[in-house]
Structure 1
Amino acid sequence: MSPLVIVLIVTVVVLLVLVGVVIGAYNGLVVLRNRVEEAWSDITVQLKRRTDLIPNLVNSVKGYATHEKEVFEKVAEARSAIMNAGSVAETAKAENALEGALKSLFAVSEAYPELKANQNFLQLQQELVDTEDKIQAARRFYNGGVRDLNTKIQTFPTNIIAGMFGFQAKEFFDVEDRASVENPVEVKF
């Protein structure tokens, strides 16, 4: 075999390997991006389910605690903020507000023993707890997908392919901010 043929074969093999690496990296990035989008979709489904439960829960409490107008307004505002959130950061901020408002709502319910014994209220409360658990699981799945995608985007050689094809790092869905963890919700009656 002539040296020219050997160089041509080596060049073709190297090009095929490079094309294979690019295709593999691109497909891996697409898979991770789709997992993140699927996980975000799961979160939005659970958030929607929760926002649908909240009016019934508020109405149950209103029947017993009609003078707690401020608490009901905060819950309504927080619910509206979740429904209108456009980004992961906005959703996380709205989640913090809703969590605080719901804590206040449940604190109000503690002052009304007949409400705590109401079967409808108890069922709604249990459904809300179940939905919160599902949101937490969906958030962990989403954040795991974001971690994997961001790691792949930032590591060599996929960072080159990610840059070539416009893959962007995703934002984690962190609900708790330092202020809400360090300063718990204050309930006033």
Structure 2
Amino acid sequence: MLIWFLFGAMCMGVVLFGLAYWKFVLLNKAAQAAWQKLDNNMKNRAELIPVLALSAASFNELDREFIYELSHMKEACRTAQTLQERVAKENEITQKFKKVFTAAMKHPELKTDEHFLKLQKSIIYAEGKVQSAKKKYNSAARDFNTIAAIIPLNLIAKMFEFEPYEYFDFDPSLDKVME
């Protein structure tokens, strides 16, 4: 009788271990997929930078150094080595977008310029997609990190070398500037 009890307990332990591993794999894949989507959205937003830099070059309020920095932001994001560097660069892009749009408000002729309005809408749309993807990534990272922090499950996470995810956070979107 004791042998059957021990056998049942071992089987239950193996099943629970397998389910825990399966949950880690699912949450890990979800976090990786969310990161990939966020990365793609940030790259798509970065594709708009050269066009904006070209438009911004005509504003007297913006100096040449600012335009030069803006035009090189796309490459700076690609070369970021760590998540903290990437967050800093993405935050810088958002700040530069805000500065360009603030300078653009001083030019009433741009309110009727079809090309600039289209560019502005594209950037705001891209920024919104980045913000949405950022929230999904942070949510997936939080879910994974929460499971990995639970005491018996953290041993499984260490056993299979599942590392916690860092959160990605930067300034809110351009909506406030556009209001």
In structure 2, how many angstroms separate the alpha carbons of the residues matched to 1:101 and 1:61?
10
Q: 2:23 aligns with which of 12, 19, 28?
A: 28
Kindly report which structure 2 residues correspond to 1:27-176, keeping only aligned pairs within 5 A, or say none. Answer: 27-62=22-57, 64-65=58-59, 68-176=63-171
- The Cα offsets for residues 103-142 of structure 1, whole Å up to 9 and x where unpaired, read as 2211222232223321111101101101111111100000
Q: Is the 8 A contact 1:71 1:105 kept in 2?
A: no
Normalising by structure 1, what TM-score?
0.83
Q: Give the letter for the 1:65 counterpart.
A: F
Q: How big is the shift at 1:98?
A: 1.1
Q: The residue matched to 1:157 in structure 2 has which SS?
A: helix
When normalised by structure 2's length, the TM-score is 0.88
Which runs of no fewer than 5 residues in structure 2 stay unpaired?
A: 172-179
After TM superposition, the runs of 4+ consecutive aligned structure 1 residues lying more than 4 A away are: none
Give deviations 1:59-82, integer Å, cap 9, x for gaps: 2233x3377312212212333221
Listed as ranges, the gaps of 5+ residues in structure 1 are 1-5, 177-189
**What's the CA shift for 1:49?**
0.7
Q: Considering only aligned residues, what root-mean-square deviation do their CA atoms show, in Å?
A: 1.6
Structure 2 contact 87–170 (Cα < 8 Å) conserved: yes
Shift of 1:54: 1.5
State the secondary structure of the residue aligned to 1:24: helix
* CA displacement, residues 33-87 of structure 1 (integer Å, 9 cap, x when unaligned): 111110110111111111111111222233x337731221221233322122233
* Partner amino acid, structure 2, of 1:30: V
Which runs of structure 2 are paired with 1:6-17 in the superposition (5 Å)?
A: 6-17=1-12
Aligned partners of 2:42 and 2:130 also within 8 Å? yes
CA distance, structure 2, for counterparts of residue 107 and residue 113 of structure 1: 12
Question: How many residue pairs get matched?
Answer: 170
- Give the fraction of aligned pairs with identical amino acids, expressed as a percent: 29
Matched residues in 2 for 1:37 and 1:76: separation?
A: 29
